[in-house]
Amino acid sequence: MIDFPPIEELVPHAAPMLLLDRVIESGEDYLVAELTVRLDGMFDDEGFVPALVGIEYMAQSIAAFSGLRSRVAGEPAKLGFLLGTRRFESNVHIYTAGDILRVCVTQIVYGDSGMAAFECKVEGHEVLQTAILTVYEPSDAANLAEVLGT
């Protein structure tokens, strides 16, 4: 079994917005992350979290994929942007606190401009969600973030 770095070193988010717990598997074009749905005041409502948060789980898993690639190259995790979500399908409308979910993201398109598309899946006990996410990772994200005021 491969020991992956802590998720905090791969995804450029801080608590409480960092929603993933760990990377459990990775390959050349995919990553699998795991999380426990938690009550943290960010998204929960009386023990439940809206299933649309699955899009953020997917986006953070893509960030972990990118962060792992950057780490292998000896670079820090980069800032990226979610541009769009297509074909989001979900068999649930809420998650229950304590649910353990696995998120699998597979890169299907990558352009030299920094744009990419990923097939994404969230799975858990009686949970199945799928979507295609389009993301952008600029070559000079620090300068871009400064210009945008983020």
Say whether pLDDT at 1 is over 70: no
Q: Is residue 70 part of a domain?
A: yes
Residue for token digits 């401009």?
Answer: 113
Say whether pLDDT at 108 is over 90: yes
Domain that holds residue 68: 7-148
Say whether pLDDT at 131 is over 60: yes
Q: Is residue 1 part of a domain?
A: no
Total domain count, the chain? 1
| CATH code for position 95 | 3.10.129.10
Q: Is residue 141 part of a domain?
A: yes
Query: What are the tokens at 92?
Result: 């649930």
Q: Is residue 121 part of a domain?
A: yes
Cβ neighbours of residue 22 under 8 Å, at least 6 residues apart?
4, 6, 7, 33, 34
The C-alpha atoms of residue 137 and residue 116 are separated, in whole angstroms, by 8
For all residues of the chain together, what is the average pLDDT? Answer: 89
pLDDT for position 3: 86
Pseudo-torsion of CA 14, 19, 24, 27, nearest 10°?
-80
Amino acid in position 16: P
pLDDT for position 142: 57
Say whether pLDDT at 140 is over 80: no
**Segment 26-69, tens digit of pLDDT:** 999 999 999 999 887 778 878 899 999 999 999 999 999 999 99
Contact 101, 127 (CB under 8 A): yes
Q: Is residue 59 part of a domain?
A: yes
Q: Is residue 2 part of a domain?
A: no
| Sheet of strand 100-110, all strands in order from the earlier edge strand to the far edge | 22-26, 30-36, 100-110, 115-124, 127-136, 81-90
Tally of CA atoms within 13 A in the half-sphere of 114 that contains its CB: 13
Question: Does 129 or 15 have the greater pLDDT score?
Answer: 129
Q: Is residue 24 part of a domain?
A: yes
Q: Is residue 98 part of a domain?
A: yes
E runs forming strands in 57-99: 81-90, 94-96
The C-alpha atoms of residue 109 and residue 124 are separated, in whole angstroms, by 26
